[in-house]
A and B are shown apart, each in its own frame.
Chain A
């Protein structure tokens, strides 16, 4: 921790400059783990269906927020879908999974009732529009680790 003494408005003020660091591990849990390992092992995108309201959640969720029903029924959805919205981030940042510019899209896969946030790749920014059709591009099997980034991106159809 760095400390400084600064003259501020006539006072000699002692300042501590720190950075809080907390180690952290998050389990994807029972439902999230199955969703991710299915992408890894089978290159398939799955969701869970609510028996009460018939909604299909992608990514899979454990509980329907409207019905409080536990979602036990797994369904495979298409690797093709429709762009509901998108944005382009041109500023390189360490947290980005790829080099800038990164195109983030909300994609509703065919057979799903929810939007799935991922990247749109292999696309000319001029070409982007809401409603465009896209398809998942999976990384080769040997590179897939069980991450949502096992889907490299969605490419325009």
Chain B
């Protein structure tokens, strides 16, 4: 039986396209100190550090070698993970495993990406298999363009629904002091009038490249009760990997593929007695690089029936003041410092449970939340968070 694991400290940087004023370690240090301040802790109390970064995206290899000082990791156990978009989610799993196993009591999970350093699309292309992927490589954008077309064709969703998702995200981002893109959008026409990035994906349908970092401090039950009056319990985590689909990585026109989201959420729901997702969970922070993928993920995570994701946004179910808020932070479409992004999902879910999300606090009381990450060829990590356990 796993020991209980609490989130006791949360810190993040602000996020933007360029941060030439700091180097990678200095940027990470900002989030580390913010998390220590949130937990009112000293770096000496941290036993180990797990960090997430997709090093090829910066073109700075083995960033571990410049990170120990600013992460406060010198002389401590530590591991770096690089699993594409799920890197931060994998690091959360690492931290969870260590505390849940009882091997360590207080650990730090650090995620960062400084995309003004490199060329993410070139790096994604470089990762692909030359035999049948590389020649058709379009980075993440092309994959999500194919997903958008598949979703349109199979679900009956209209471009207007995707635009509604973007408006919802922007409303949240404008209220989130840390968010990157705060566009102040007022109508779906503004989204529909934005040019094509890769058809049918429009400029406002896709996430930016952000620089930023996010940090969580995880602690055992005994330590957590001494550190904070408001621990958020990390009840469970899940990670599922696979290889690219035959038909398409994120959108499956054959309708026959098993997505890692299905496997991951069904595992975590079963272990935690979740039988009706929107009844048993109050809010989700999901990793949606595009508005089209957000509607797709509603279906994959069983927030609704297959083909009905667009109906949730049409009915306002997933709005900040809706019955089942999704990404009141503004989500990934507003802010995407890749290695940090999944950790921001967990951090934002935890802030909602603590009631500390400020201007973007959901209207309904949030006792249980789900955080997801997506990456590589459609890999999935999940975290289930609870106020009471």
Contacts and interface: CB of A to CB of B under 8 A. Distances in A.
6 contacts: A16-B131, A22-B119, A25-B116, A27-B116, A31-B26, A68-B44
Interface stretch (A59-67, A80-88, A109-117, A140-148): A59-67
A113 to B, nearest CB: 15
Interface of B: 19-26, 29, 43-44, 56, 58-60, 68-70, 72, 74-75, 116-119, 122-123, 126, 130-131, 134
B215 to A, nearest CB: 13
Contacts of A23: 59, 118-119, 122
B29 A62 contact: yes
A41 B59 CA distance: 30
A26 B22 contact: no
Chain A contact residues: helix, strand, loop or mixed? loop
A101 B123 CA distance: 35
Given A16-B130, A65-B74, A68-B72, A24 B58 contact: yes
Contacts of A68: 43-44, 69, 72
A24 B23 contact: no
A61 B26 CA distance: 10
Contacts of B75: 66
A28 B75 CA distance: 25
B59 A32 contact: no
Interface residues of A, number: 25
Interface of A: 1, 14, 16, 18, 20-32, 61-66, 68, 70
Contacts of A31: 26
A63 B131 contact: no
- Interface-centre pick from A14, A27, A31 (highest chain B CB count, 10 A): A27
Given A63-B25, A65-B74, A68-B69, 13 more contacts: A21-B122, A21-B126, A23-B119, A24-B60, A26-B58, A27-B19, A29-B23, A29-B25, A62-B26, A62-B70, A65-B68, A65-B69, A70-B29
Instruction: Across the A-B interface, give the 7 residue pairs with the lowest CB-CB distance, nearest first.
Output: A29-B23, A24-B59, A16-B130, A65-B69, A68-B43, A65-B74, A22-B59
Contact of B23 (A16, A21, A22, A27): A27
Contact of A22 (B56, B70, B130, B134): B56
A23 B57 CA distance: 10
Contacts of B24: 29
Contacts of A14: 131
A63 B29 CA distance: 9
B123 A22 contact: yes
Given A64-B69, A68-B72, A29 B118 contact: no
A97 to B, nearest CB: 20
Contacts of B70: 62-63
A29 B22 contact: yes
Contacts of A70: 29
Contacts of A65: 68-69, 74
A28 B23 contact: yes
B223 to A, nearest CB: 19
A64 B23 CA distance: 16
Contacts of B56: 22
Contacts of B19: 27
